[in-house]
Every structure is written in C-alpha cells, then in structure tokens.
Amino acid sequence: MLIINSILEMKALVKDIRQKGKTVGFVPTMGYLHEGHLTLMREAKKKTEFVVTSIFVNPLQFGVGEDYEEYPRDITRDSCMAREVGVDAVFAPTIREMYPNGYATFVEVEKLTDKLCGKSRPGHFRGVTTVVAKLFNIVQPDIAFFGQKDAQQAAVLQQMAADLNMNLAIEVVPTVREVDGLAMSSRNTYLSREERKAALVLSESLKAAGKLFASGERSPGVLKDKITGMINREPLARIDYVEVCTLPGLEETERLEGQNLIALAVFIGSIRLIDNLIVEG
C-alpha cells in the first residue's frame, strides 16, 4: 500500500492507474478509522479496482470552539487498518499542501446546509464541500463512498456533485454500529464509561421512533416527541436538535410519505454525537 503526502504525486499515481484502464474508488476520511470507515473501504474494494482513502483533519469544517485541536489522530494505526482491508493508497496531505498561503476559494451548497447540523455548526458544510471538491479533483474517483451516519453531509455532497456536473458517482453506505447500537464515530473515543452508556439513548430513541413508524404512525410531531422524551430522561444528554424531514431535500413535512429522515444531534456531556434513521412508507 502506498502512502502519499503530495498532491502532485497523488495526481500522477491516479493518472497512471486510469491510463491502465482501472476504475478508482475513494473514501475520504478524517482518520482515526473505525469499522464504519473500513466498511466504506471494503465496499470500494468490491466496486472499483483501485481504492484510495484520504486522511486529512480538515480545519475548514471545524467551528470556533469545536474539537479541531483535540480531534484524535494516529496515522500509523490508520495506515495499518487501511492496508488490512486492501486499500491501495492512502493520501495524507499536510494542511499547507491543501491550503497554501493566499488560499481563497470556497464551494458552497445553499438551502440544504441551513438545516440540521448546518444550523448548529455554521460554516461546517462549506468546509466539507470545499475540501471534498479539492479531494475529488486530486483523486478523480469513479465512485466516492460516504456513510449514512452523516446523512446531511451525503445529501449536501450529492447536491454539489450534481450541480457542478462532477464526473463521479457518490454511494452512501448504511451506518455501522457497535453491538449495542451506538453508531460508530471517531468521537466515541472521547466518551467516559458513564457517557458511553448514556450515548445509547441516541440509537435507542431512534429505534423506538422507528417502531412507532412501523406500527403506522405518520405524524412527525409524535415521533419527535417520543425521541425528545427519551433523551430528556437521560441526565447526561442534552438535545442539540431532533428533526424529521424529507430526504434528500431535508424539508419539514406535515405527514410522513415517501422517504424521510429522522436525524438528531445530542450532547453527551460535552461530546456532540449524531445519528439518524431513514424511514420509508
């Protein structure tokens, strides 16, 4: 497996691979890999012939007071894990390489980014779309893989790729969970033992809402109340948002028809976690 730090080298490698007629799969990450990332990489291995993963903690998508500095980093561990699932190249650029002095260009998706996490984290998605647009130009994949856990991110990136006529497909892969249901996240490593237990309220309240939906409930308000009630009973949890909306438009809805997203962000202690459930009916 190759480890590449330079943009020019990455471009040269991909050019060579494409000239050999191979398809390229791409899994962008911020590192500190977990089973969720590895599932994306395995999916990429299945569907493409050369798999690149990037490891880059993107300062542009962190707000003031967020955890950019503390975000866990371990490139040795990450490279080892990527190699084991058959990744062909890890792209790990420096910040200076990605954002040289005088850097001034930003990609912005409107509307979709005003809601859910976009409301609580202003500028976050602008950072995501900008870095992903750059990475797409560097790696030039046929298919890029993203996790359903970041449902809004996936919707925003699909809108960006379609609007800017990018030459790739975006695949969204179901959320991978711990045995007890907690959605995998690099931020789970921040949780104390007590918080780890409390964090279960995210997946469990979603599961309860899913059961209500399965039993015929179609009112977004009733589902939201169910979730809010459960989370409010957990002393370590504080709701950032609980939303029920259409997918991929992320619009409010009066009654659940077609594909909808139940999404939530909850602080467990000081750690902000997200999870979601797609319901279809």
Q: Which residues are catalytic?
A: 37
Indicate the residue among 75 and 164 with the shorter CB distance to its own copies.
Answer: 164
Q: Determine contact, residues 239/264, Cβ cutoff 8 Å.
A: yes
Distance of alpha carbon 74 from its chain centroid, rounded? 19
- Provide, rounded to whole angstroms, the least separation between the CB of residue 149 and its own copies: 23
Indicate the residue among 165 and 270 with the shorter CB distance to its own copies.
Answer: 165
- Provide, rounded to whole angstroms, the least separation between the CB of residue 90 and its own copies: 18
Q: Which strand ranges, in their side-by-side order, compose the sheet holding 24-29?
A: 2-4, 89-91, 50-55, 24-29, 143-147, 169-173
Q: Determine contact, residues 236/243, Cβ cutoff 8 Å.
A: no
What is the contact surface with its own copies in residues (CB under 8 A)?
7, 11, 102-112, 129, 133-134, 137-138, 140, 159-160, 163-167, 249
Indicate the residue among 12 and 75 with the shorter CB distance to its own copies.
Answer: 12
- Provide, rounded to whole angstroms, the least separation between the CB of residue 110 and its own copies: 4
- Provide, rounded to whole angstroms, the least separation between the CB of residue 50 and its own copies: 17
Q: What is the C-alpha to C-alpha distance for residues 234 and 118, in angstroms, rounded to an integer?
A: 25
Indicate the residue among 11 and 207 with the shorter CB distance to its own copies.
Answer: 11
Question: For the purposes of burial, counting CB atoms within 10 Å of the CB of 216, is it exposed (0-12), middle (13-18) or buried (19 or more)?
Answer: exposed
